[in-house]
Structure 1
Amino acid sequence: MINDASRLMDDNTDDIDDNFIDDTPDDDIEIIESEDIDGLNSSDEEAHNDNEEATAVVDESVNSFAGHQKAVLCCDLSSDNAYVVSGGEDDMAFVWRTQDMSVVFDVNGHKDSVVCVEFNANNSLVATADMSGLIQVYDMTGAKLFDFEVDEINWMLWHPMANNILLAGTSAGDAWMWKLVTTSLTFECKTFQSFGKSNVTAKCLPDGKRIVMGYDDGVVRIWDLKNVNVIHAISDLTAHTATITSLDCMPDNILIASASVDSTAKLINSQTGKVVATFQCGADVAPVADAAEDTEELVDSVECVRLNSSLSVLATGTVEGSIDIWDISTQIKRHSCKHSSGVSKLSWDTNSPHILYTAGLDGIINIYDGRSGQLVGNKKGHLDQILDMKISKDSTIAVTASEDNCCKIFSLP
């Protein structure tokens, strides 16, 4: 649960900045004839070889980074495909080169698992955040410019247009926005009000003027970044009934997709704050009736959503491994795909928008044709579940972070 990169950089950027919204004895010895020995040795060797073949894992990655000592929880790829930043359960983050896996610099000082990492829009800065709430900002020479301490971190992201605007949300329910001045190492800060429920995930709208946040109680709020006030709160009977896990936005700034532990995904009109569609996703199980009540019923939590403006579809992935592709205009399920395990991430190909990449808890990237719902390929290499995946802007490589303590780079498609 723990973000798309930059959009068009237009004249609005100046206004945004100005207004600051901006993973034994001898008698007992039995004599064995030599031929028996040879037979035993041959049998043992064959069994050993068979076992090796059974356990061998095909690695189709082009490169692997093994700098972490524990699970790698998160990763990000610079927009020029030159660098990766990865964060792990070893309380470390590394910035490294995609070409030779060499480390540019280590990010020390974290007090807990590093759960969020991200380059800013022009790759001049990188931010890392640990679970305890420590955020650090570095330039690409490895110089630390800023650090901030807040409550337990759930999410962190850079503004898609303004290179010096950083935002983060916490388990306490509030969110923070910093405007960084790198020349003087100073900053301004604004705080988004807490409503008493964990602020779980967020996504900036493409217009750069608004941000949508999802909360632990199922509420989705759309905020104005300039004035730091709520424009719309989706909390009525049409709202989710459990934790929001993922959010996405259409390039037109109008449609927002939300996913929840309650087995549903929704489409929300950002201008009116109204839910325009609700999709029952994944396995045929009963949804959560009340987020505040414990339930023993199986619920196929929707872990990720991704909108596709070219096909006018919504892709959803669930913890039970269901991948559904929904037609937005008719609100009908076009295709239902099945991953062999839970789905952790989804991403559409930017060059071939009908191609859908899915990261699984089986350690495999599956590739589907979004028009037919057919599996057209996969990428193997990890020994454990993939916890994060980033597809390059030109859709030529994928970077993955895994429970097997490695990051890998795969060529696409």
Structure 2
Amino acid sequence: LIAEEEVWSFEVGDLEWMEWHPRAPVLLAGTADGNTWMWKVPSGDCKTFQGPNCPATCGRVLPDGRKAVVGYEDGTVRVWDLKQGSPVHVLKGAEGHQGPLTCVATNLDGSLILTGSVDCQAKLVNAATGKVVGVFRPDAVGPQPNPGEDEESESNSVESLGFCNVMPLAAVGYLDGTLAIYDLLTQSLRHRCQHQSGIVQLLWEEGAAVVYTCSLDGAVRLWDARTGRLLSDYRGHTAEILDFALSKDASLVVTTSGDHKAKVFCVQRPDR
């Protein structure tokens, strides 16, 4: 047996997110003090990208590995040049969000960025120009709330989002349980898939127009993005699912839950 040993460690403030670089042994992380850190592992060479004086709440390295998009609690979005250590684009005010960022995503070639926020908007950004080219709002997903439902509507937010790799589609998951699938060419709503509880995370299958969701009711669901049809669901947790991951061949789903358990589900799709 090979003894496990620590090869690298570093101490920073409270962590908000972490992600490995797609092309190198480099780790990026955002912290509550607004900084984004980048380390070479295991050498420990470090670079810091200083944001506004508020938490760096989410981030994603672009597919080319040269830039990273980071969202902040004050609603701003920065696209950083990882080599130069300077922001290439800064979206704030009307171009940014009116609430903390919750999630960011990029498409397969890195030309488009999606940002999501507690302001219930998902913004489509041209990565080359830094310009907002589309806005997906909850009023395009479902009916407007009735008078007296302000408290419920204010509790809604974008919780997760992502791009399909095989079709020009994007998915946005909301705290109210709505999964919205948008056509990127027309920027129109294609399907609305409703959950009884809030969506925590969504993931697209790498080579198919199938999107996976996990929610506060403790279930994982598979949706056909072409039709909006529920393909299957997997249950077994007694509390909310906090996060999940999909194997590269989409044969396994691994979940972690508030019931203090992790589960592995074998995916059996009826359309296969």
Regarding TM over 0.5, the answer is: yes
Residue 156 and residue 373 in structure 1: after superposition, are their counterparts in 2 closer, same or farther (change >3 A)? same
Within a 5 Å distance, the mapping from 1:10-409 to structure 2 comes to: 141-163=3-25, 165-180=26-41, 182=42, 186-281=43-138, 284=143, 296=151, 298-299=153-154, 300-351=156-207, 353-409=208-264
Is the 8 Å Cα contact of residues 165 and 206 (structure 2) preserved in structure 1?
Answer: no
Question: Post-superposition shift, 1:231?
Answer: 0.2
- 1:38 match: none
Bigger mean CA deviation after superposition, 191-200 or 327-336: 191-200
The residue type equivalent to 1:150 in the other structure is: V
The AA in structure 1 aligned to 2:173 is: G
What amino acid is aligned across from residue 163 of structure 2 in structure 1? L
- Structure 1 gaps, min length 5: 1-103, 105-139, 287-294
Q: Find the aligned partners of 1:323 and 1:220 in 2 and give their Cα distance.
A: 23
Query: Which amino acid in the other structure matches residue 104 of structure 2?
Result: L
Which one-letter code corresponds to 1:160 in the other structure?
P
Aligned-pair CA distance for 1:332 = 0.5
After superposition, what is the alpha-carbon deviation per residue over 1:171-230, rounded to whole angstroms, capped at 9, x for unaligned? 1101111113x4xxx421111113112100000000001000000011111000001110
Matched residue type, 2:56: N
State the Cα RMSD in Å.
Answer: 1.7
Q: How many Å separate the matches in 1 of 2:143 and 2:13?
A: 37
Structure number with greater CO (CA < 8 Å, separation at least 6) is 1
- In structure 2, how many angstroms separate the alpha carbons of the residues matched to 1:227 and 1:188? 15
Deviations 1:7-31 (A, max 9, x none): xxxxxxxxxxxxxxxxxxxxxxxxx
Corresponding residue number in structure 2 for 1:100:
none
Note the alpha carbon deviations across 1:376-407, whole angstroms, 9 max, x for none.
21111111100001001111100000001000
TM-score (norm: length of structure 2): 0.91
Q: Percent identity?
A: 39
Q: 1-side partners of 2:248 and 2:10: how far apart?
A: 29
Q: How far apart in 1 are the matches of 2:231 and 2:251?
A: 16
The structure with the larger Rg is 1
Letter in 2 for 1:313: L
Question: Secondary structure of the equivalent of 1:389?
Answer: strand
1:385 and 1:253 map into 2 onto residues whose CA distance is: 32
State the shift of 1:296 in Å. Answer: 4.9
Gaps of 5+ in 2: none
TM-superposed CA distance for 1:283, in Å, is 5.1
CA distance in 1, matches of 2:60, 2:179: 22
Count of residues paired in the alignment = 261
